[in-house]
Structure 1
Amino acid sequence: MEYASLPPGLLTTRLAAKAAGVEPATIRDWVRRGILQRAGGSPRRPYYTVQDVTAAKMAAKPNSARTRRANVHPA
């Protein structure tokens, strides 16, 4: 069940994912990793600010190629 009405500037997980061009699971992962902070709601129905979602989208996120290169030590 979605919120009937959120104040302007706030997004549900689904809307935050749409705004960032990612899946809702990615939004939850960003929260778990500390890239995105919840702005309120409940544990099962959090919401986020538009500014925080935009900042999280722009934040540098490690990927497997970058991680592998960083862990390779020259002999």
Structure 2
Amino acid sequence: MESQIIRPGHLTAHQVAALLGVTLGGVRQLVRRGQLQRSGGSVGQPWYAVHDVAALDAKRRTSQAA
């Protein structure tokens, strides 16, 4: 399998999962629920914009603190 070079300002699904403390399945659920959008890559290796992941993380932290 050929590895893609990720664009600056983007994260892989594995990186997103680690940052948000969820599994890859959890990342897929966030996408299905419309809480996170793919911003590049391929179907099998999607990328996510750093600013989208950071915004989601901040939103999740705020709702957990309330």
What TM-score, normalized by structure 2, do the two folds share? 0.73
Question: How many residue pairs end up in the alignment?
Answer: 60
Is residue 14 of structure 1 aligned with residue 18 of structure 2? Answer: no
Larger CA Rg, structure 1 vs 2: 1
1:4 offset after TM fit, Å? 4.7
**Alignment-mate amino acid for residue 19 of structure 1:** L
Q: Secondary structure of 1:59's match?
A: helix
Runs of 4+ in 1 over 4 A off after TM superposition: none
Identity %: 43
Q: What RMSD in Å do the two structures reach over aligned CA positions?
A: 1.9
- 2:52 — aligned with what? 52
Q: 1:26 to 1:41 in 2, by over 3 A?
A: same
Q: Per chain length, whose mean CA-contact separation is higher, i.e. which structure has more relative contact order (CA < 8 Å, sep 6+)? A: 2
Report the TM-score when normalising by structure 1. 0.66
